[in-house]
């Protein structure tokens, strides 16, 4: 059971050790930073750490690359595929710099990019050890109302 996206819930279960790996053809699991994914039924695994090393990216830049190339939450800008997204993310220090280089972005693209980024990091999931909803990644403080409306409310219990 997942309160919102199954991808985020599966990532939480794998990354916290409740499952050894995820089985899915959905590459968004990697954007959620799922550590180990089995995609094709052959027993071959995609390990996030190895992908990051191969691409020479950190996890946050990898997620930014996935968003810029197009994901479930935000379409890519015309002409931006995975290769151009990787080059753009690699050359820029922060995702804000990435957005400034995307010349043909719609007016609200920056806000939508930030929202997609927040969903990939802080989507609400269920922590089975405490039977409560929590953010996928602990952000260290409480979320404001706008972020909660994007990522989901915490606490299923009133």
Instruction: Kindly report the CATH number assigned to the domain that includes residue 14.
Output: 1.10.150.20
The pLDDT profile of the chain, 158 residues, written as one tens digit per residue, is 888 889 999 999 999 999 999 998 888 899 999 999 998 777 789 999 999 999 999 999 999 999 989 998 998 888 888 998 898 888 876 766 767 766 677 778 888 888 999 999 999 999 999 998 889 987 665 556 666 666 666 554 43
Q: Is 157 within the bounds of a domain?
A: no
Into how many domains does the chain fold?
1
| DSSP secondary structure code for residue 76 in this structure | P
pTM of this prediction? Answer: 0.84
Instruction: Give per-residue burial for 123-150: e unless 16+ CB within 10 Å, then b.
Output: bbbbeeeeeebbbbbeeeeebeeebeeb
Q: Is 156 within the bounds of a domain?
A: no
Q: Is 1 within the bounds of a domain?
A: no
Q: Is 94 within the bounds of a domain?
A: yes
Decide: 13 and 126 in contact? Cβ < 8 Å: no
Q: Is 52 within the bounds of a domain?
A: yes
For residue 135, which of 8, 6, 1 has the smallest C-alpha distance?
A: 8
Q: What is the extent of the structural domain holding 39? A: 6-151
The DSSP bridge partners found for residue 135 are 124
Decide: 34 and 11 in contact? Cβ < 8 Å: yes
């Amino acid at each position: 059971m997942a309160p919102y996206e199954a991808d985020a819930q599966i990532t939480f279960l794998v990354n916290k050790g409740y499952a050894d790996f995820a089985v899915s053809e959905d590459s968004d699991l990697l954007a959620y930073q799922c550590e180990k994914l089995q995609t094709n039924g052959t027993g071959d695994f995609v390990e996030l750490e190895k992908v990051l090393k191969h691409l020479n990216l950190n996890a946050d830049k990898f997620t930014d690359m996935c968003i810029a190339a197009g994901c479930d939450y935000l379409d890519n800008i015309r002409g931006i595929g995975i290769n151009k997204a990787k080059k753009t993310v690699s050359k820029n220090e922060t995702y804000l710099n990435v957005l400034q280089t995307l010349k043909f972005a719609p007016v609200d693209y920056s806000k939508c990019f930030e929202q997609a980024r927040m969903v990939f990091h802080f989507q609400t999931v269920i922590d089975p050890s405490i039977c409560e909803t929590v953010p996928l990644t602990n952000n260290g403080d409480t979320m404001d109302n706008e972020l909660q409306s994007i990522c989901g409310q915490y606490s299923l219990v009133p």
